[in-house]
Amino acid sequence: MRICIIAEGCYPYVVGGVSGWVHSMIQSFPKQEFILLTIIANRELSGKFAYELPENVTEVHELYLEDVDWGSVNKRHKTRLKQEEYHALRSLLLNHEVEWDVIFDFFRNQNISINQLLMGEDFYHAVLDCYNLQYPDIVFSDFLWTMRSMYLPLFLAMSMEVPKADVYHAISTGYAGIVGSMGKHFYNGQLIISEHGIYTREREEELIKAEWVQRLYKKIWIQQFKKMSQIAYDKADVVTSLYQHARELQIELGCPEEKTTITPNGIDYRRLEKLPGIRPEHEGYVHVGAILRVTPIKDVKTMIQAFAYAKKRFPKLKLWIMGPYDEEPEYAAECFKMVEMMAVPDIEFTGRIKITDYLGWMDMTILTSISEGQPLTILESYAAHVPVIATDVGNCRGLLYGEDDDFGKAGILTHIMNIEEIANAMVYLAQNPEVRRQMAEVGYQRLIRKYKIEDMKKTYARIYQEAAQRQNLVWEDGVTENGQ
């Protein structure tokens, strides 16, 4: 069976998080052929992989959402669309009974110049209809150019030659869901959607905060992402989420309930069982570890401020910010500057590391994110018998306090951007080593009960096997009876 993994903005270009999950999934089924279809911003990122691809990855296809219309001068473009093509284009812009199959066929069967289409008469009239019916109070010229910029990446995605596969496994809705829906339409492949965060809600949160989008246009962009997610939900055979509340959000956003299933993350806890102890030069401190990418969504600035307050109350605290800081260098530079301006001692930015070199001698780990799914770093902390401080986002509450067990608390939950709460949590755990030990044991028990890599492998082996059966294919999952 040929499985096409479709990933947007993550694997194999960045380390950790969803990328780590994808890499683990592919390695979990070594007998299966996987092909990668990666969606990235532009050609500058092409081939810059942060992972060595497993041997069972046979092809890599790249889609660029910020691209030029290569070779457009040699492309034929009809002066006008057929009636059914124009009707489908209009339905897309109006978001009314969108005729996706007609649109997919149009982009596949025509030698389209996207530049000419966006600047052409048909797109202009469809935008004008949308403007008159829904947004007559906006300046039309601004609206027209916004629509052109909004539909350029979508049209680039739909112009891609999707590789043939038996199963399309999209690791989000959005553009990945669009490409997966195209694969299902053209090749009748099975479509699996696995959301680690709820794509529509994440884009909505980003747009609400975005300064580059005028307030009048935020609603239009949000609607764009909603319609893209809806087609993925409609076309999918299976839609997975990491925890119950995420599943409820998918259903609320229009995913048919019977398609949904919960598939918690799983980690290889054995590789974190016997870790190096503390080095002599680091003794005498209480160590706080933050395993993350230095990006705004991780809200490292709040972490730094909270640590500064905690440090004044408990001077023996030391903060290790462990992870790459080259993804958003401007934000990272602001974090470095903040540490310098506040003159906060004992904060180390390690850059990219092997967490196995550090995690064994952390006294606690911390996440101050403003958005998460089901963080693997929390599970890795549990495997190393380390308690966790985390903000109340994604499934952090369930991981720290339990969803369907009575083990107790494995850490402390705080509100996002609440410097006082986060500082208090650090000080409390620093002052109470026995509480840390008890919480660490709770976390380990919770991990072993529900979040092992074997559990995740069994779950996805069943999903892939059922997809194969629906197509009368043979599934060789590489998983023995005990899940190894």
* Structure tokens that stand for 410 in this block: 């494995």
CA 439 to chain centre: 28
Single-letter code of the amino acid located at 202? E
Q: Do 165 and 3 touch, CB atoms closer than 8 A? A: yes
Distance, in Å, from the CA atom of 318 to the CA atom of 269, rounded to the nearest integer, reads 26
Q: In the beta sheet, which residues pair with residue 482?
A: none
Mean pLDDT value of segment 195-216: 84
Same domain (yes/no): 186, 241:
yes
**Is residue 338 in a domain?**
yes
Residues 52 and 94 in one domain: no
> Do 255 and 274 reside in the same domain of the chain?
no
Does residue 215 surpass a pLDDT of 90?
no
pLDDT of residue 76: 54
- Closest to 230 measured CA to CA, from 87, 134, 100: 100
Q: What pLDDT does 481 receive?
A: 39
Q: Is 479 in a helix, a strand, or coil?
A: coil
DSSP 299-350: THHHHHHHHHHHHHHSTTEEEEEEB---SSHHHHHHHHHHHHHHT--SEEEE
Q: How far is CA 47 from the centre of its chain?
A: 20
Q: Where do runs of H (alpha helix) occur along 110-198? A: 114-119, 121-134, 140-158, 174-187
pLDDT at 241 over 70: yes
Q: Are 348 and 399 contained in the same domain?
A: yes
94 and 203 in one domain?
no
389 DSSP 8-state letter: E
Strand 33-40 vs strand 388-391: parallel, antiparallel, or unpaired? unpaired
Q: How many CB atoms lie within 10 A of CB 196?
A: 25
pLDDT in tens, 428-463: 999 999 999 999 999 999 999 999 999 999 999 999
Q: Which of 230, 262, 294 is the last residue of a domain?
A: 262
pLDDT at 397 over 60: yes
Residue 254: which domain range? 2-67+162-262
CA–CA separation, 62 vs 64, rounded Å?
7
Determine the average pLDDT of the residues in 158-175: 96
**Closest to 174 (Cα-Cα) out of 278, 266, 65:** 65
Instruction: Tell me: do 313 and 428 sit in the same domain.
Output: yes
Q: Sheet holding 347-351: strands in order across?
A: 347-351, 317-322, 286-291, 364-367, 388-391, 411-414
Question: Is the Cβ–Cβ distance between 373 and 201 less than 8 Å?
Answer: no
Query: Do both 308 and 436 map to the same domain?
Result: yes
The whole-number pLDDT of residue 125 equals 96
Using an 8 Å Cβ cutoff, are 388 and 359 in contact? no
Percent of the chain with pLDDT over 90: 82
Token pair in block for residue 424: 């208090």
What does the alpha-carbon distance between residue 293 and residue 359 come to, in Å, rounded to a whole number? Answer: 16
Decide if pLDDT at 74 tops 90.
Answer: no
Whether 124 and 231 map to the same domain: the answer is no
- Chain-wide mean pLDDT for the chain? 92
pLDDT digits (tens, 9 = 90+) for 365-385: 999 999 899 999 999 999 999
Are 349 and 275 part of one and the same domain? Answer: yes
The structural domain count of the chain equals: 3
pLDDT bucket at 484, cuts 50 / 70 / 90: very low
Q: What residues contact 44, with CB distance under 8 A and at least 6 apart?
A: none
The answer on 315 and 178 residing in a single domain is no
Q: For residue 290, what is the DSSP state? A: E
Neighbours of 281 (CB within 10 A): 6
User: What residues contact residue 337 under an 8 Å CB cut-off, 6+ apart?
Assistant: none
287 and 377 co-located in one domain: yes
User: In the block, which residue shows the tokens 């999952």?
Assistant: 477
* 116 CA to centre of own chain: 33
- Between the alpha carbon of residue 260 and those of residues 240, 257, 352, the distances in Å are 6, 5, 36
pLDDT of residue 71 exceeding 70, the answer is no
Least confident of 77-81, 352-356, 381-385, 447-451: 77-81
Q: Which pLDDT does position 376 carry in this prediction? A: 93
Domain of residue 192, CATH code: 3.40.50.2000
DSSP assignment of 27-75 equals HH-TTSEEEEEEEES-GGGTT--SSPPPTTEEEEEEEESS---TTGGGS
* Same-domain pairing of 11 and 90: no
| % of the chain surpassing 70 pLDDT | 96
The answer to whether residue 274 sits within a structural domain is yes
